[in-house]
Structure 1
Amino acid sequence: METASGHKMVRLEGEDLARQERDFKGYSEGMVRLTPGRWLFPAIFEQYADKYYTFELKPSDVMLVTYPKCGTTWLQEVVWTMRNNPNLDNPKANMPINVRVPFLEMDILLSSRNLPAITPDNPIIQGFKKMCPGRDPKDGIFLQMTELAPSPRTMKTHLPLSLLPQNLLTTSKAVYIARNPKDAVLSFYHHSRILKNHGYTGTFEQFVQYFLDDDFMYGPYWLHLKEALEQRDNPNLHVMLYEDLKQNTLHELKRLNDFLGTELTEDQLKGVAHYTSFPEMKARNALFGEGGEIFLNLGIIEKDGGFFRKGTVGDWKGKYTPELDAKMDEWIKTNLADLDIQFKYGL
């Protein structure tokens, strides 16, 4: 099967599929791989691939593009606040972030026997009915919530640029945030254990090996990053580093202010910096909202921490064995050397 983006989709079979379903208990409805690129998704992606590629954009849209666990939720709050809540008095700020900044492809992550069905009385469906009156949730709950979000829309995605609308960087603006791979992998490991739709039960060492082999959900980190960096001179793309945002928050917000054209004052930017700091966001913890607990493994959260865990730079130190760290260093040398990007692995 070929997609509108020109990718070939093939269902995983045999040992490839068995290995994924063994270690990721949430991947129970099949998997599909796209080439070129080795992008990997639940099989339901077949129904949505062309819808994402042909998603209708507006000039006022801002798409937040990130590989998983590279600062996505932080960026969502930062950009939405700058665009919609510069004086920190917008009553909608109390709504879950994934309502204010909808997750374009969230529907593909709900296809799992590890998750209960979203019934008509679930708050997610009730919210859908309010945002999308007359629409059928079977056509994509989050896809339609993204489509019908009020302008100016701020949206998030983990899809690579090659699977997103072809006119993204000519019609709209996009912000891409990258994070050093050692911290990103560690964070993705915890994330995949917390969320039932991933349901990861293997070891950290096995998880890192999936990463090194370009063989887990979403696909190659290095290629995702490369596609963005190849467009970094495009005036409609703004590239940021998680570590820079952490170390020099106000400076990075000023750069973002210029790109977005939000024209915030220095005092407003300082207010945004405080409001979107990790401790403040962790205290609010408004990611999913009511009904969102169906996605979470509460036992893991109680033991190891929740979605807002640490948010630090260099948390990877001491978590990798010397052998595993050496493998990561070799992977970084092989895959990132020609990308003209310098990550910080500690502050």
Structure 2
Amino acid sequence: MAAEKKRLNVEFKSMPESLEESFLKDFPSYDEGLVRGEPGGFVLTPHYGENAEELYNFHIRPDDIWVLSFPKSGTTWTQELVWLIANDCDFEGAQKKLNDRSPFLEFPYLLPRPQDLSTVETQMKYRENLASPRIMKSHLPLDLLSPELGKTCKVVYVARNPKDVIVSYYYHHRLIKFHYFDGDLESFAHRFMQDQVFYSPYFGQILSAWERAKTEENVLFLFYEDLKKDLRGGIEKVAKFLGKSLSEDQLEKLVQHLTFENLSKNSAVNKEDGKTSGSFHEDGNFMRKGETGDWEKHFSPELSRKIDEWTELNLRGSDIIFVDKI
């Protein structure tokens, strides 16, 4: 007997500003505009908005492990780390594409509505039928995912300081043809702070995950910057959270495998196939720099100050602290 569907009490409506000429000049591929969900203000495609309840009801297994984040926060890095720990350091198995080993839940709904929905159905069935333990990836906030998440299975949430996220997300929008942003970094940063980009609002989902991790033992909150400072310590923390023991040899191999230099050359992980498929522009890389503090090379003092003020306003009353350079 099929489980009763849970109702998602969020209504998605068209964002009027996303249909304005100035917005479509910046985002020429978003000709359908974007939608915003209320309550919460979450921003994504109309295709997602129509299927949000289906994703909310995606069946969770007790042995699932979910890797969640705001985009460009170290998701791919964390996915590979989690997959290898969960699969007892199966480096041979890790030669298979990461997207196949750890599928991106909502990806079928991030592109324009296809004429033939069978591709979407096939992709969603693949997620449902993947062998256990499934390592699932999503950029959706916890409030828009199954309420069973964190109660019946493990969740690893990774967050990165907002300044580096803005820079990395800007280059992400310049790389991926569908997301193409035809403006400069400063105008992108302002749209980011005004919650006018995919997966906004940034602080909405970060703070929700931070609070959940305080009260739910199945939710682990990681900082990108902590992994950069002490990758070995981060691996050990995740292994303990997942109930896995690693030998000294496994630890050393994992640290080497997970360096940015090695991952960026790893064709199973670096997503360079986006160029051969035609979905990425040739100029740029999905795994770009992996640095902390790269924002200093991009922001004017005035823009840096505005982002600091925006950050302080949004973190007021919270005990979360971001490190914006190491």
TM-score, shorter chain, exceeding 0.5 = yes
Partner of 1:232, secondary structure, is: helix
- After superposing the two structures, state which structure 1 stretch, 310-319 or 28-37, moved more: 28-37
| Structure 2 residue identity aligned to 1:343 | F
1:200-211 correspondence to structure 2 within 5 Å:
200-211=181-192
Q: Does 1:268 align with 2:250?
A: yes
Conserved? CA contact 1:102–1:142, under 8 Å? no
The residue that corresponds to 1:322 in the other structure is 301
The residue that corresponds to 2:155 in the other structure is 174
Conserved? CA contact 2:104–2:136, under 8 Å? yes
Q: Deviations over 1:130-178 (max 9, x none)?
A: xxxxxx7344343322212111000100000010001111111100000
In structure 2, the CA distance between the partners of 1:208 and 1:280, relative to structure 1 (3 Å rule), is: same
The residue that corresponds to 2:233 in the other structure is 251
Residue 93 of structure 1 and its aligned partner are, at CA, apart by 1.5
- After superposing the two structures, state which structure 1 stretch, 157-166 or 257-266, moved more: 257-266
Conserved? CA contact 2:67–2:156, under 8 Å? yes
The residue that corresponds to 2:81 in the other structure is 78
> How far, CA to CA, are the matches of 1:203 and 1:342 in structure 2?
28
1:1-12 correspondence to structure 2 within 5 Å:
4-12=7-15
Partner of 2:43, secondary structure, is: strand
| Structure 1 residue identity aligned to 2:236 | K
The residue that corresponds to 2:137 in the other structure is 156
Alignment equivalent of 1:59, drawn from 58, 62, 66? 62
In structure 2, the CA distance between the partners of 1:85 and 1:6, relative to structure 1 (3 Å rule), is: same
In structure 2, the CA distance between the partners of 1:310 and 1:29, relative to structure 1 (3 Å rule), is: same
Q: Does 1:42 align with 2:42?
A: no
TM-score by length of 2: 0.91
Conserved? CA contact 2:64–2:135, under 8 Å? yes
The residue that corresponds to 1:231 in the other structure is 212
In structure 2, the CA distance between the partners of 1:49 and 1:87, relative to structure 1 (3 Å rule), is: closer
| Structure 1 residue identity aligned to 2:76 | T
> How far, CA to CA, are the matches of 1:48 and 1:141 in structure 2?
15
Conserved? CA contact 2:15–2:36, under 8 Å? yes
In structure 2, the CA distance between the partners of 1:5 and 1:226, relative to structure 1 (3 Å rule), is: same
Conserved? CA contact 1:80–1:154, under 8 Å? yes
Q: Deviations over 1:192-246 (max 9, x none)?
A: 1101121111111110001111221111111111110111121100000000001
> How far, CA to CA, are the matches of 2:122 and 2:170 in structure 1?
27
Residue 58 of structure 1 and its aligned partner are, at CA, apart by 0.5
Residue 269 of structure 1 and its aligned partner are, at CA, apart by 1.8
Conserved? CA contact 2:19–2:31, under 8 Å? no
> How far, CA to CA, are the matches of 1:289 and 1:61 in structure 2?
28
* Percentage of matched positions with identical amino acids: 35
Q: Deviations over 1:74-112 (max 9, x none)?
A: 011111111125153x2x322221111100000122217
In structure 2, the CA distance between the partners of 1:147 and 1:87, relative to structure 1 (3 Å rule), is: closer
Q: Deviations over 1:36-63 (max 9, x none)?
A: 1111111101332011100101111001
The residue that corresponds to 1:104 in the other structure is 105
In structure 2, the CA distance between the partners of 1:188 and 1:82, relative to structure 1 (3 Å rule), is: same
Conserved? CA contact 1:60–1:152, under 8 Å? yes
> How far, CA to CA, are the matches of 1:10 and 1:95 in structure 2?
39
> How far, CA to CA, are the matches of 1:141 and 1:118 in structure 2?
14
TM-score by length of 1: 0.86
Kindly tell me the number of residue pairs found equivalent between the two proteins: 317
| Structure 2 residue identity aligned to 1:258 | K
> How far, CA to CA, are the matches of 2:169 and 2:57 in structure 1?
29
In structure 2, the CA distance between the partners of 1:186 and 1:243, relative to structure 1 (3 Å rule), is: same
In structure 2, the CA distance between the partners of 1:146 and 1:336, relative to structure 1 (3 Å rule), is: same
Partner of 1:56, secondary structure, is: coil
In structure 2, the CA distance between the partners of 1:205 and 1:257, relative to structure 1 (3 Å rule), is: same
Unaligned stretches of 5+ in structure 1?
120-135
Unaligned stretches of 5+ in structure 2?
1-5
The residue that corresponds to 2:277 in the other structure is 293
Conserved? CA contact 2:108–2:120, under 8 Å? no
The residue that corresponds to 1:335 in the other structure is 314
Conserved? CA contact 1:39–1:219, under 8 Å? yes
RMSD: 2.0
